[in-house]
Amino acid sequence: MKVAIIDYGMGNLRSVLKAVESLGGIPFITQKQRVIQESDKIILPGVGHFGKCMQNLKQMGLIEILNKEVLEKRKPIMGICLGMQLMMEHSEEGDVDGLSWFKGNVIRFHVSDKYKYKVPHMGWNSLNYIKNEIKHNIRNEYYFLHSYHVTNVNEKDILTTTVYDYEFVSSIQKDNIIGFQFHPEKSHLQGLQLISDFLNFANV
C-alpha cells in the first residue's frame, strides 16, 4: 500500500512516516504530482501555518491534483491537525481560503481565561463520540497540539468533539475524506489504530 504524505516544506514528518511504516504501509514523503497520483492513500500532515501551507500547495501545483484524486477518483485521504483544517472553506490563520472539501471554517481558540487555558491546546484529551466510526475499545486519550480549530461544520460530518474550556469539533468525515484535529501518529496504540483503520479503508 503506497501512502503519499504531502510535504509542505515545513516541520518534521518523522512520526507520520514511522507510524505508516510500522503498520506495513509504504510511505512517500512527497511534493511530486506523480507520486500522489500513483499512491493508494494520501495523508495531509499537520505542521505549519495555514496561510503558508495553502500558498505552498498552490506553488507546488498540488491543489488541482488533490481535488482530482480526492473528489473525482475518491481516493481516501486523512488530514491531521492543520491537514484537517486545510480541508475547510476558510481560516483566520492568514485569512485565506482552504480546499473547501467540508463546509465550515477555522478560528483561533477563544478561551474564557487565557492563563488557565493556555493556547496552544497542547496535551492529551478525550473524544466525545457523535458517531461511532472511529470508536475503539482502547484508551480514549489523544495527543493535541493546536491554536485553531474548525467550526460551523455540517452536523452530519462530525465524528467527535472535545472539550478544552468549551466543546469544539475534533474529527470529521465525509465519504473518503477524514480529518483529525489531534495527532493519531503521536497517540500511542489508540492513535495507530486509527491510522490502521485508514490504511484498511477501501476505496469507495
Which residue numbers are catalytic?
81, 183, 185
Per CB under 8 A, 161 contacts another protein: no
Q: Which is nearer to another protein, 157 or 185 (CB)?
A: 185
Interatomic CA distance for residues 20 and 24, integer angstroms: 7
Q: Is 18 in the site for another protein (CB under 8 A)?
A: yes
Q: State how far the Cα of 70 lies from the Cα of 76, in Å rounded to an integer.
A: 7
**Between residues 24 and 202, which has the closer beta carbon with respect to another protein?**
24
Report yes or no: 197 and 135 within 8 Å, Cβ to Cβ.
no
Closest CA to 40 of 28, 50, 23, 51: 28
Residues 6 or more apart whose Cβ sits within 8 Å of residue 52? 8, 10, 94
Site string for another protein, 72-91 (x = CB under 8 A): --------------------
**DSSP string across 37-52:** HH-SEEEE---S-HHH
**String marking each residue 180-199 x if it binds another protein according to CB under 8 A:** ------x-xx----------
188-200 and 14-22 helices, crossing angle to 10°: 70
CB of 75 to another protein, least distance (A): 28
d(CA 56, CA 129): 34
Site for another protein in 108-147 (CB under 8 A): 114-116, 118-120, 122-126, 139, 141, 143, 145
Joined together, the cell numbers standing for residue 108 give: 483561533
Instruction: Give min distance, CB of 94 to another protein, in A.
Output: 13
Nearer to another protein, 60 or 145 (CB): 145
Total residues contacting another protein by CB under 8 A comes to 29
The CB-of-203 to another protein minimum distance in angstroms stands at 29
Distance CA 95, CA 50 (A): 9
Q: Which residue type, as a one-letter code, is found at position 158?
A: I
Q: Kindly list the residues in this chain that would bind another protein in the complex (CB under 8 A).
A: 10-12, 14-15, 18, 47-49, 114-116, 118-120, 122-126, 139, 141, 143, 145, 163-164, 186, 188-189
